[in-house]
Structures are given as C-alpha cells and as structure tokens.
Structure 1
C-alpha cells in the first residue's frame, strides 16, 4: 500500500494532492506531511482526494485532527475530488456536516 502526497503553497492557499490508499499503514505519512502546515495562522488548505481509491477510519482521524488544528488557527479547510464512496464515508460518520466537502474540484485545485 502506497501513498503519494504533493504539497504546493500557492499564493495564500496550501494545495495538497493525495494519491493511493489512506489506511493504518499510510495515514502516519499523511499526518506527518500535512499536519505541520495546519498550525500556520489563517491557512487556507485544500486537499484533493481525486486519486484516493480507499480510506479507512484511520484516514478519517487524520482529517478530523487536521480540521480541528486549522480551525483553531483561524484557517479554512476543504476536501475536494471525493469519489462517491469516500463522500458516503464522510456522510455516514457525520463529518460531511462539519467539513467542507466537494465531489469535484470546484473551488479548490485549478
């Protein structure tokens, strides 16, 4: 199981593209790569999950922690490019009600 994480800091927006699977094996790498960015004041972070085929509860935990950290630093957080399967995972857990989620990449990556 592999994961690829591409981070670009463009203007005032941190854009993160994730490829692969987010699970107990790969979530620590994801957390270690993007969590320090969440501690900047007023960060505007967009994470593109278009090429993520699978995510388990460990991945959800990473995004909940990231969301909390960004909000505590007066930032904005958005997930874009979710497949129907990933969107459903966020809906079932109730996270879709608190995290800004888009099925396509609208308002996110160009």
Structure 2
C-alpha cells in the first residue's frame, strides 16, 4: 500500500492511496493524516480510486481519520472511491457518515 499527500491550498490536502487498505496500511494512513492535521491541513480529500481492496481495519482507519479531522475543525471527504471502497462503505453503512465526491478536486470546491 502506498499513500501520497499533495497540499492544494493553505488548509486542504489530497491524500491518494493505492493497493489494499487493511490493518497494516491503516497505520500508515493514520500517520499521514495525523501529520497533515498537525501542519494545519485539516480539510482532507481522500482519493480512493486506487484502492483494490478494503477490510474492516481499513474502514475503521477512515472513521478514525474523519474524527480526528473534525476535532481539528476540518473534515475528511472521500473522492473517486473504487468499487471495493463503495462496497465496503455500503456493507458497513458508512456511506451515511462520509461525504463522497466524484473527484478529489471537487471535494472542497465551494
């Protein structure tokens, strides 16, 4: 699993993931999000188009990161979710918790 983070405005960062979002990669995701928030990048767009599989630990990490972002006065929005992510969100009923967008650039377009 690989993650990249790209700052696109003073407080917005796009985090892109590729591979499997599971218990191991969830730790890396939490660390990347924590680092972004500590730099003041509290509005996060998660581009999940490259995720080929997600398990319960991965979904739990997304919820944890969302909570952390909101506590810092921001938000975490999902962009371009892969079919695996859409299925995981649906099965876990988390589709009601996350805002989902067609593109990472559009997640914070106002």
TM exceeds 0.5?
A: yes
**Residue aligned with 1:26, SS:** helix
Structure 2: segments with no counterpart, 5+ residues: none
Q: How does 1:56-67 map to 2 (within 5 A)?
A: 56-67=55-66
- Residue matched to 2:95: 96
Structure 1: segments with no counterpart, 5+ residues: none
**Residue aligned with 2:29, SS:** helix
Quick check: 1:42–1:74 contact (8 Å CA) kept in 2? no
- Residue matched to 2:81: 82
- Residue matched to 1:29: 28
Quick check: 1:19–1:49 contact (8 Å CA) kept in 2? yes
1:41 Cα deviation (Å)?
A: 5.5
Quick check: 2:51–2:84 contact (8 Å CA) kept in 1? no
Aligned equivalents of 1:101 and 1:15: distance in 2?
A: 14
Superposed CA RMSD in Å reads: 2.0
Residue 73 (str. 1) matches residue 89 (str. 2): no
**Residue aligned with 1:82, SS:** coil
Aligned equivalents of 2:41 and 2:50: distance in 1?
A: 27
- Residue matched to 2:2: 4
Moved over 4 A (4+): 39-42
Quick check: 2:13–2:41 contact (8 Å CA) kept in 1? no
Aligned equivalents of 1:34 and 1:73: distance in 2?
A: 11
Q: How big is each residue's C-alpha offset from its partner over 1:7-38, in whole Å with a ceiling of 9 and x where there is no partner? A: 11121311111111111222212222222323
